[in-house]
Structure 1
Amino acid sequence: MSIINYILEQPHILQRVIREIPPQLASIPDLIGSENYFLIGSGTSFNALAAVEPLWAEMISPFVKTGHPLSFISSLKVPSLKSTALILSQTGASKTTIQAVEHAQRLKMRVITLTADPDSPIAQVSSEKIIIPVGPETVGPKTKGYTASILTLLLLILAQRKKYLDISQFLADLPPFLKECSNICKSLTSRLASVNFILIMGQRRHLATALEGSLKLTEMCGLPVAAFDTEEAFHGRFHGLNPQNYAFFITSTAEELELANTGMSVLSELGIPGGILNLCPTKTSFFDLPILWPNSATLPELDLISAIIPFQLSAYYLAKAKNIIPENMKYPGLSQKLQIKTR
Structure 2
Amino acid sequence: MMDYIQEEQATLVEILQGFVPKKEEKRAAIENLLILATGSSANACLAAKYAMEKLAQITVTIEEPYHFNHYGHLSKEIETVLAVSQSGKSASTIDAVAQLSKQDIYTIGLSSDPESPLAQKVNESIDLGTGIETVGFVTKGYVATVLQLYLIGVSIGYSKGILSDDQVSTIKSQLGEMIEAIPQVIDKTIDFFEKNASIFKLANRFVAVGYGPNWGTAKEFETKFTETLRVPSQGFELEAYMHGPYLEANHEHVLFFIEAPSLNQSRSQLLHDYIASYVGKAYTITTATAKNSDTLGLDVACEETFSSLLLVIPFQILSYLGAAAKGIDLSKRIFDDFDQVLKSKI
TM-score (norm. length: structure 2): 0.88
SS in 2 for 1:140: coil
Between 1:127-136 and 1:30-39, the stretch displaced more is 30-39
SS in 2 for 1:326: coil
Which position in structure 1 is the counterpart of 2:270? 262
2:317 to 296, 313, 316: 313
Q: How far 1:75 sits from its partner (Å)?
A: 4.6
Instruction: Give the letter aligned to residue 324 of structure 2.
Output: K
Q: Which string of whole-angstrom CA distances, capped at 9 and with x for unpartnered residues, describes residues 192-240 of structure 1?
A: 2111111111112111000001101111121210111111111221221
Instruction: Give the letter aligned to residue 229 of structure 1.
Output: E
Q: How do residues 207-286 of structure 1 correspond to structure 2 at under 5 angstroms?
A: 207-279=215-287
CA–CA distance in structure 2, aligned partners of residues 340 and 328 of structure 1: 21
TM-score (norm. length: structure 1): 0.89
Instruction: Give the letter aligned to residue 58 of structure 1.
Output: K
CA–CA distance in structure 2, aligned partners of residues 221 and 332 of structure 1: 18
Q: Which string of whole-angstrom CA distances, capped at 9 and with x for unpartnered residues, describes residues 264-312 of structure 1?
A: 222222243111112358xx76686132343435xx4332121011110
Q: How far 1:29 sits from its partner (Å)?
A: 4.1
Instruction: Give the letter aligned to residue 19 of structure 1.
Output: Q
CA–CA distance in structure 2, aligned partners of residues 330 and 237 of structure 1: 31
Between 1:106-115 and 1:77-86, the stretch displaced more is 77-86
CA–CA distance in structure 2, aligned partners of residues 87 and 42 of structure 1: 10
CA–CA distance in structure 1, aligned partners of residues 23 and 126 of structure 2: 10
Find out whether 1:290 has 2:291 as its counterpart.
no
Which position in structure 2 is the counterpart of 1:9? 7
Which position in structure 2 is the counterpart of 1:144? 140
Q: How far 1:150 sits from its partner (Å)?
A: 0.6
SS in 2 for 1:135: coil
Which position in structure 2 is the counterpart of 1:303? 307
Between 1:222-231 and 1:167-176, the stretch displaced more is 167-176
Instruction: Give the letter aligned to residue 304 of structure 1.
Output: S
Find out whether 1:173 has 2:181 as its counterpart.
yes
Instruction: Give the letter aligned to residue 290 of structure 1.
Output: L
CA–CA distance in structure 1, aligned partners of residues 26 and 277 of structure 2: 53
Same amino acid, percent of matched pairs: 24
Instruction: Give the letter aligned to residue 50 of structure 2.
Output: P
Q: How far 1:127 sits from its partner (Å)?
A: 2.7
2:107 to 105, 111, 119: 111
Q: How far 1:126 sits from its partner (Å)?
A: 2.1
Aligned length: 334
CA–CA distance in structure 1, aligned partners of residues 179 and 32 of structure 2: 34
Instruction: Give the letter aligned to residue 191 of structure 1.
Output: I
Q: Is the 8 A contact 1:60 1:160 kept in 2?
A: yes
CA–CA distance in structure 2, aligned partners of residues 77 and 199 of structure 1: 33
Find out whether 1:124 has 2:120 as its counterpart.
yes
Between 1:199-208 and 1:174-183, the stretch displaced more is 174-183
Between 1:222-231 and 1:186-195, the stretch displaced more is 186-195
Q: How do residues 199-210 of structure 1 correspond to structure 2 at under 5 angstroms?
A: 199-210=207-218
Instruction: Give the letter aligned to residue 17 of structure 2.
Output: R
Find out whether 1:32 has 2:40 as its counterpart.
no
Q: Which string of whole-angstrom CA distances, capped at 9 and with x for unpartnered residues, describes residues 130-186 of structure 1?
A: 101112310211100000011111111112223231233223222222122222123
Q: How far 1:28 sits from its partner (Å)?
A: 5.6
1:52 to 48, 54, 72: 48
**Residue 280 to residue 255, structure 1, CA distance change in 2 (3 Å):** farther
Q: Which string of whole-angstrom CA distances, capped at 9 and with x for unpartnered residues, describes residues 303-341 of structure 1?
A: 212101111011000111122122446644433333211
- Root-mean-square deviation (CA, aligned residues, Å) is 2.4
SS in 1 for 2:209: strand
CA–CA distance in structure 2, aligned partners of residues 96 and 294 of structure 1: 38
SS in 1 for 2:131: coil
CA–CA distance in structure 2, aligned partners of residues 68 and 238 of structure 1: 26
SS in 1 for 2:345: coil
Q: How far 1:107 sits from its partner (Å)?
A: 1.7
Which position in structure 1 is the counterpart of 2:153? 157
Q: Name stretches of at least 5 consecutive residues in structure 2 with no aligned partner.
A: 159-167
**Residue 189 to residue 104, structure 1, CA distance change in 2 (3 Å):** farther
Between 1:162-171 and 1:204-213, the stretch displaced more is 162-171
